[in-house]
Copies of this chain bind each other. A is one copy, B any other.
Amino acid sequence: MTEALSFTDIVRLIEQDIPFNRLLGLEVEAFTGDAVQVGFDAREDLIGNYALRVLHGGVISATLDLVGGLTALAAILGEMETQTPEALGERFARFGTIDLRVDYLRPGAGERFTATGVPLRVGRRVAVTRMELTNEQETLIAVGTGTYITG
């Protein structure tokens, strides 16, 4: 008998089984059809400019891409009738980022960063999401728009 993947299973998959997410230290704080949120702590390794001590642009784009993808996946999962590991695995295998735009609005200064996503449209073939990255003082650091292949 196969069982549906739990929230804990999916979070572990994203945080632990994707090496680069582990390297970044990304934590999935929410992952439902209503809210998707990813957070991470400031860390020496993630710096892009020593003088200013701000996040590297690549850390920002990686985080926005992940939270956009999770936003699209959460919407898709909500519509799937059976969520067996097999059905999910098949769906995940066809999923991927088509393109990503990132707008760097302000220097990535802070102690804790939070990325959130909103689905603009989730269709059978393509999903479009908008994403934001803020620090612990709710300063808007960057926004993004992502397009994902969904099926």
Contacts and interface: CB of A to CB of B under 8 A. Distances in A.
Given A98-B98, A101-B99, A58 B47 contact: no
B103 A145 contact: yes
Contacts of A125: 125, 149
Contact of A98 (B19, B58, B126): B126
A133 to B, nearest CB: 12
A49 to B, nearest CB: 7
A144 B104 CA distance: 15
B24 A58 contact: yes
Nearest to A68: B57
A109 interface: no
Given A18-B56, A125-B149, A102 B50 contact: no
Nearest to A94: B125
Interface residues of A, number: 47
Interface in A96-151: 96-106, 120-121, 125-126, 128, 130, 140, 143, 145, 147, 149
A90 B24 CA distance: 30
Nearest to A19: B47
A62 B51 contact: no
Interface in A42-70: 44-51, 56-59, 61-63, 65-66
Interface of A: 17-21, 23-24, 44-51, 56-59, 61-63, 65-66, 93, 96-106, 120-121, 125-126, 128, 130, 140, 143, 145, 147, 149
